[in-house]
């Protein structure tokens, strides 16, 4: 699992700021859809919400690192 996370971090580091912003919007929409599925009883696994939130945090961290590196 640690290998997968480090690989994701490398992939996020290779993306540009605009791509990361797009990914943030995409993940926020995905989390919204998961919340709606959970409320209507259609969500198969609640772990999907947790994984999506963690991925969003990783992307936001990478975006913050890029913006602080430019400043």
Q: How confident is the model at residue 4 (pLDDT cuts 50, 70, 90)?
A: low
Are 56 and 28 spatial neighbours (Cβ–Cβ below 8 Å)?
Answer: yes
- The predicted model gives 43-55 an average pLDDT of 94
Helix, strand, coil percentages, rounded to 5, for the chain: 85, 0, 15
Structure token digits, residue 27? 């993940």
Q: For position 50, what pLDDT does the model report?
A: 95
Residue-range domains of the chain with CATH: 2-70 (1.10.287)
């Amino acid at each position: 699992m640690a290998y997968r996370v480090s690989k994701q971090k490398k992939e996020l580091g290779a993306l540009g700021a605009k791509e990361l912003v797009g990914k943030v919007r995409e993940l926020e929409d995905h989390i919204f859809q998961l919340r709606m599925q959970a409320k209507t009883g259609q969500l198969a696994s609640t772990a999907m919400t947790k994984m999506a939130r963690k991925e969003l945090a990783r992307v936001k961290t990478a975006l913050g690192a890029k913006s602080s590196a430019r400043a």
